Amino acid sequence: MFKKISLVVAFSTIAASAFALTSADVQTTVQLKDGSTVYIFHDGKMAMENRYGRTERMDPGHVMETKDGQRITMQGDEVARLEYIRAQDRGG
């Protein structure tokens, strides 16, 4: 019985840590010319929030222009990751 409980606790801990994302996982944010914000995570993948504050899907490889005129290319499309972080920041 104790072994079963130990296994359940161990697997629960592993599963919870896999989803333990916070805003600290965001390496930097970049403001785009159109008012959108790109979140760049520590692993180099990105997620985008439109100018109204909603998470928006962006195709990987899409070239975007920053406010200062630089161009960056979308790497990944971490919509769910950003939504999870935003929900945690809202207290959900």
- Which residue, among 79, 64, 54, 58, has the nearest Cα to 32 in the 3D structure? 64
User: Model pTM?
Assistant: 0.72
According to the model, what pLDDT value does residue 16 have?
45
Q: What is the mean pLDDT of each run of 10 residues along the chain (92 residues)?
A: 55 50 79 95 93 92 94 93 87 70
- Contact indicator for 65, 29 with CB cutoff of 8 Å: no
- Contact indicator for 51, 84 with CB cutoff of 8 Å: no
Which residues pair with residue 32 across a beta bridge?
Answer: 66
Q: Which residue has the tokens 């333990």?
A: 20
The alpha carbon torsion through 31, 33, 34, 40 (nearest 10 deg) reads -30
Query: What domains, with CATH codes, occur in the chain?
Result: 2-89 (2.40.10.300)
According to the model, what pLDDT value does residue 11 have?
55
According to the model, what pLDDT value does residue 29 have?
93
Kindly give the pairing relationship between strand 63-65 and strand 55-56.
unpaired
According to the model, what pLDDT value does residue 3 have?
57
